Structure 1
């Protein structure tokens, strides 16, 4: 089983942090392939940036689709996820959706804890798209924006611990999702001191991808409705252009 871990941010250290979690969750026989965007943003914080990153994610998946059994869009707001599911013939998992859906199977009141208030609206969209409805109780974030903190720094741990406690005390959450690729691995570290279940989005995405590959016949993807209409392309990456040409031929 070959799973693409597609980071549409340009920060390689962020990808490696997520891979540390992936290696602990992926079963034997599952090969997780890390990919980091070569253009775009060092980290994605708004819906506008996510639109651009989504197109980059499609190019990245297309370039490696021939050898993949599944792909994970490894940015918490899932940029490009609906589009990727239209054009690729294998499961594509969004990190945010996987974490939020998993959280919904663990408890009734779900919150997201993240490092910046700039992410709030985008992450609220993610919860809405995951279908949580009134089970989603909000985003716990600091009052002011800062660049993504180093995942292993004591200050990062202290910040996230406080935000998780706030989600429990003020939002009355019984499951808290740590929102953002820079926070990969902190859920397991903070769990002993937080009075709610913590969900690491990378771990959830790996588990969901493995399950979907195991339960979903590959042949079924080629027969599904809603595939792209045939049309010419101009200026797309060669791998993505070939994919749309294939759709047109079919």
Structure 2
């Protein structure tokens, strides 16, 4: 089983962290294929950046989907997730959705704890996008700046644990999610300092991707996630344009129309 680990941010250090944590929980025979965005921002923190990151995620999926069994969009907030499920035939897992659904199996209400206040509005909208507002006890965010995105979890560990405990005590959260790709792996480090289950976002995503591959779901040909009809593109090139226009480029360079097949 090959699972694409797609980081729509440009921080290769964060991709390395996600890969290391994901490999710790991956089943024997599962290979994680890491890919980092070649353009964009170091980490997605706003609605505008999420729109940009979502488009980049679709481009990355278009390039790699034929070579893997499933994909993980490894940015909490799930940029591009719903569009990816329309366009592509493989299971596509969002890191935020995977963490939240796992949390729902461990308690009635979960809290999201993250490292920057700018992330709050986007994360609130992500919760709503997945229809989980009534299961979310709240979102807690740190104030202030941090030195480096690749070391933010070490720099802010004590404060994040404090926020998590406040979510349990004041918001009555049954489960805590430490959210944001740079916090991958932190749950295992601090689990004994928080009195409720703590979900690691990338671990949840890897296990859910494995489960979906094992279930062998068919691609929808009806309903709202069926693949859209072919449409001409203007000013777009490469695999994403091919996917939208329903065409395949053969090894000899010839273009094969999927519609006519």
Normalised by the size of structure 1, how large is the TM-score?
A: 0.93
Does the 8 Å contact 1:149/1:156 carry over to 2? no
Q: Aligned with 1:170: secondary structure? A: helix
Between the aligned partners of 2:211 and 2:7, the Cα distance in structure 1 is 21
Cα distance change, pair 215–174 in 1 and its aligned pair in 2 (3 A): same
Cα distance change, pair 224–5 in 1 and its aligned pair in 2 (3 A): farther
Q: Which shows bigger deviation, 167-176 or 204-213? A: 167-176
Instruction: For residue 134 of structure 1, report the CA deviation from its aligned partner.
Output: 2.0
State the Cα deviation string for residues 130-176 of structure 1 (Å, max 9, x = none): 22232211111123354664447643221211121121122111101
Aligned 1:205-224 pairs, distance under 5 A: 205-217=205-217, 220-221=218-219, 223-224=221-222
Cα distance change, pair 151–182 in 1 and its aligned pair in 2 (3 A): same
Q: After the TM superposition, which parts of structure 1 deviate over 6 Å for at least 4 consecutive aligned residues?
A: none
Task: List alignment gaps of at least 5 residues for structure 2.
Answer: 248-256
Instruction: For residue 242 of structure 1, report the CA deviation from its aligned partner.
Output: 1.6
Does the 8 Å contact 2:21/2:202 carry over to 1? yes
Instruction: For residue 246 of structure 1, report the CA deviation from its aligned partner.
Output: 1.8
Residue in structure 1 matched with residue 23 of structure 2 by the alignment: 23
Residue in structure 1 matched with residue 186 of structure 2 by the alignment: 186
Does the 8 Å contact 1:100/1:130 carry over to 2? no
Residue in structure 1 matched with residue 121 of structure 2 by the alignment: 121
Task: List alignment gaps of at least 5 residues for structure 1.
Answer: none
Normalised by the size of structure 2, how large is the TM-score?
A: 0.90
Residue in structure 1 matched with residue 133 of structure 2 by the alignment: 133
Does the 8 Å contact 2:99/2:199 carry over to 1? yes
Cα distance change, pair 237–49 in 1 and its aligned pair in 2 (3 A): same
RMSD, aligned CA = 1.7
Cα distance change, pair 148–136 in 1 and its aligned pair in 2 (3 A): farther
Q: How many residues align?
A: 248
